Structure 1
Amino acid sequence: MFRFVIGPDDNLVPDLEERLPGRGLWLSGERDMVNTACDKGLFARAARRSVKVPADLAGHLDGIMVRRCLDYLGLARRAGEVVAGFEKVKTRLRKNKGGVLLQAGDGADDGRDKIKALASGMALVDVFTAAELGKALGRDNAVHVVMNEGRLAERLLRETGRLMVFRGFSR
């Protein structure tokens, strides 16, 4: 679910961290629901006043969620909690270490399948492109990434779960 608040200038503001002050408006986490709420003026009806809704609210939400997920990945990299690259990931998985496996959705199927076979029972995230993963890790591209277990991994899984629901992927 998403929380929105109305700013003092009557603009609708997504509050994905659920910390902004004010009465929140809650909406289901699917893209179709966001589009329906925008088209039918449901935010104004729920707030009982006029509300300025951004033109492409669904696209804006998608961008915010992707940025949040990749920010968690970048933070984990700076903390030394991430390993990237086929061989390094394969070595880490053979030692049964790791909490979350991230694979680029546009990566080659054979390499992805080989890594997936080693990561049985591990959380898998494959909603990002190689360029997006690479950017979060300070590289051009990254297809295979393993993040250690811990709080950052839990937060990343929560945010990617929201993103997958929003984009219509099955969990």
Structure 2
Amino acid sequence: MTRGGRQTDQDDPERKCIATGESRPKPGLIRFAISPDGMVVPDLMGKLPGRGVYVASDRAALDKAVSKNLFSRAARQQVAVPPDLAAMVEAGLARRVVDLIALARKAGLAVAGLEKVKDWLEKDKARVLIQAEDGSERERARLRPPDGPESLVTCLTAQELGLAFARERAIHAALGAGGLTGRVVEEAARLAGLRRAAGKHVGGRTALKDTKDA
């Protein structure tokens, strides 16, 4: 298990990506289900019934799966793919990351704001540093992740990160030790994979509505 609370890859069951043909742990994949009417549906929580179809959490892999009709081949039937599937997945993952951070905040496992985050880092309470991708380089350089690059999350915009703390914007946040922290790290890694695309910032577009009550 990593410092942030994630299970190691050896603990995770593997599935094969229909686009790359590579097997990898499930946290690095996006599961899709086929609805009764033959529509491809993102199953971000992995709970929808039926045989799942998996694609790597990577924009190029997802685009390939859509353009080459690999969902139909994997499902062994003709299926319909929503034209905005990639956007649907990205928005859903962004929502999950924000909601998980909000839950961590309510549990006392997350703080936001430069001084609070700095205090947690100095007291070794922070396990993960979260910084808004669209924050200035000078602003973000004021803090360092507690355990190297693997303990840094940068896939959210300042507006998205702010939603998790019921404020308009946030540049810095930190997560303490706990199971929610591991879940944030895993979901953020999947979101970052989708937002790493040619000509697109990791932070991407804000795809959320206000979640003050999250």
Fold agreement, TM-score > 0.5: yes
1:9-158 aligned within 5 A = 9-116=37-144, 119-121=145-147, 123-158=151-186
The answer (yes or no) to whether the contact 2:155–2:195 under 8 Å persists in 1 is no
Question: Distance between the aligned counterparts of 1:115 and 1:77, measured in 2?
Answer: 20
TM-score w.r.t. length of structure 1: 0.91
Query: Which amino acid is the alignment partner of residue 99 of structure 2?
Result: D
> What SS does structure 2 have at the residue aligned with 1:115?
coil
Tell me the equivalent position of 1:166. Answer: 194
Residues 22-45 of structure 1: CA distance to partner in whole angstroms, max 9, x if unpaired? 011122221112111111211112
CA-to-aligned-CA distance 1:142-166 (integer Å, 9 cap, x gap): 1110111110000000111112222
Q: Contact 2:129/2:146 (CA < 8 Å) preserved in 1?
A: no
CA RMSD, 1 decimal: 1.6
In structure 2, C-alpha distance between the alignment counterparts of 1:42 and 1:144, rounded to whole Å: 40
In structure 2, how many angstroms separate the alpha carbons of the residues matched to 1:131 and 1:29?
23
* Structure 1 letter corresponding to 2:83: A
Query: How many residue pairs are counted as aligned between the two chains?
Result: 168
Q: By percentage of residues, which structure has more helix? A: 1
Offset at residue 55 of structure 1 (A)? 0.7
- Give the gaps of 5 or more residues in structure 2: 1-28, 203-214
Matched, 1:5 2:27: no
Q: CA deviation digits over 1:46-65, x for unaligned, max 9?
A: 21222111111111111111
Q: What CA distance in whole angstroms lies between the structure 1 residues aligned with 2:134 and 2:54? A: 33
The whole-number CA distance in structure 1 between the counterparts of 2:31 and 2:105 is 29
TM-score, normalising length: structure 2: 0.74
Query: What residue identity is the alignment partner of 1:66?
Result: A
| Paired residue secondary structure (1:18) | coil
Supply the distance in 1 between the matched residues of 2:169 and 2:57 (Cα, whole angstroms). Answer: 29
Task: Tell me, in whole angstroms, the C-alpha distance in 1 between the residues paired with 2:153 and 2:139.
Answer: 15
Identity %: 43
Aligned AA (1:73): I
Q: Any unmatched runs of 5+ in structure 1?
A: none
Q: Which amino acid aligns with 1:100?
A: V
- Residues 26 and 64 of structure 1: CA distance in aligned 2, closer, same or farther (over 3 Å): same
